[in-house]
Structure 1
């Protein structure tokens, strides 16, 4: 719109500048935001399993995704290298496949619908996961309730993340289907 020629170099420099500016905003996130009840515990248990690789699939730019998780000390639970981010593609379903490809390259195994389980909280998360080739666990912790997520076609729906064992079972069961 403004006659700026988009290039990989421009996007990279924009990402770096945005990440640097975001550092100031991290304090605001920490002050106003919160970790969902049970999230830290679930991430910790899943991170301790040799058969689970956790990452991020988000419309955010990678530095912002890292910053948001780092603000709450959650970054240690995920492998950002195999994630997929808003700057990678605008279509979230495409991001699922991209994350699967990155994980396959890094870990030397195939990632398919049978072992890829995004956890989301909106009907769009469910749709993107299914279109991208994954089973989806949905959690009614956002603006969508259990019924809405079930109607969207989530493979499993949970009310929240507070029952660590139930969430871990749901993620592992979705992967085994």
Structure 2
């Protein structure tokens, strides 16, 4: 996932296919459909220098609301435009398996899924299903996306890039 700053226009590269290591590796994640139907309201991005700078700048000037009014184009792995907006809202996210409940599981669709601990802008999010749904992924695919496919055991830190004005964690 890469981002280019082109004058006052951001181009952000996002994953639209399941990444290497995910049980559905290489398959389309269905994000275009999820965006079109309004089910997907953000991308979760690992971040880079440009996103970090923009987040820091917005955090200093806009208490609680990190929204920048500037053209943003989201492109897929091949560079094809998948979404264009005139603003970006950014929040910092940390996802890990809850250290207090590491051996506890939720049962979802007959599968045991480890309990996740999610913080957005240092506020705990108690409903991991809400975050996975808003990401356009099932809870199992969400966990696999951020842990198995990244080859990380239990921790992810990045940014929520909202492309709807109506939603914020």
Give the TM-score normalised by structure 2: 0.31
Structure with greater helix percent: 1
Larger radius of gyration: 1
Structure number with higher relative contact order (C-alpha < 8 Å, ≥ 6 residues apart): 2
**TM-score, normalised via structure 1 length:** 0.30
Q: Please identify which structure carries the higher strand content.
A: 2
